[in-house]
Amino acid sequence: MGKRLITQARGKGGPGYRASSHNWYGTITYPTPSENAIRGEVLDIVHSAGHSAPLAVIKFEDGDEILIAAPIGIQKGEIIWSGPGSPVNLGCIIPIGEVPSGYPLCNLERIPFNGPELVRTSGSSAAVVGKEAGKVLVKLPSRRTILLDPRCRATVGTLAGGGRTEKPWVKAGKKWLALKARGGRIFPRVSGVAQNSVDHPFGGSHRRSLGVPTTTRSWGIPPGRKVGQLGARRTGRSKR
């Protein structure tokens, strides 16, 4: 009988794998696209348990009120601009085709006008490193470079909350409460042999024995079932 891994169940999105809605202050979005720069004001800086960075509530002169992950240094009452022709100042939302090389960016769109998808973790930032063939080359926090449409929008600045990961948890209970806000049963993390057979192919035994081969082929199976040694070149003890 087939087994359903936790990774597969998380993708299905059952009740046990959904983040609690009351922990989310709102959805991070960008204002409606406009031909000219529009003026906005930061109404407040708020905390959301489901996000790693603080959120900024911004209201624009056309009536749009949005939430974005706040860059470090932005303050309540500050004036920002959004759209083509906006100044390259902290917190402004600008098409990446108008951003000079080296400026830190966050809340980056992958598809033009589709909303911020990349660089939303606290303390992270991307940067424009070049332009080629009508595309903009952006270096992500992972040091990977991608080519994006110059119409994709981004927020100028580095996201706040950069020292979040430096503070120790001290107690497992504090970590459990913090990660529970994100859903998905991501903590505590246990080995496959310690789980039930419905949760992992290595589980279901009363002892620390696998009962099945640890090598797994890299084709012909769902990605969620790829556990153990993936496409191993060799197995067994190495000869000295």
**Separation of alpha carbons 158 and 72, rounded Å:** 6
**pLDDT score, position 1:** 44
Report, as an integer, the average pLDDT of 88-92: 94
pLDDT tens-digit series, residues 218-229: 788 776 677 888
Q: Which residue has the higher pLDDT, 183 or 178?
A: 178
Please report the pLDDT score of residue 224 as a whole number: 66
CB 198 within 8 A of CB 9: no
Which residue would you say has higher pLDDT here, 54 or 183?
A: 54
Average pLDDT rounded to a whole number, residues 111-120: 95
Q: Which domains does the chain have, with CATH numbers?
A: 17-161 (2.30.30.30), 171-230 (4.10.950.10)
Instruction: Using a pLDDT cut of 70, give the percent of the chain over it.
Output: 97
What integer is the mean pLDDT of 17-43? 89
Higher pLDDT, 195 or 126: 126
For range 28-48, the mean pLDDT? 94
> Model-level pTM?
0.76
What gap in Å lies between CA 145 and CA 85, rounded to an integer?
25
The share of the chain scoring above pLDDT 90, in percent, equals: 54
Radius of gyration of the chain from Cα atoms? 22
In the predicted structure, residue 168 carries a pLDDT above the cut 90:
yes
Which of 30-39, 80-89, 96-105, 176-185 is the least confident region?
Answer: 176-185
Neighbouring CB atoms inside 10 A of 5's CB total 21
Buried b (16+ CB within 10 A) or exposed e, 79-98: ebbbbeebeeebbbbbbbbe
Query: Residue range 76-98: average pLDDT?
Result: 94
Hey, is 10 helix, strand or coil? Answer: helix
CB-CB contact of 125 with 65 (8 Å): no
User: What average pLDDT does this structure show over 151-161?
Assistant: 96
What average pLDDT is seen over the chain? 88
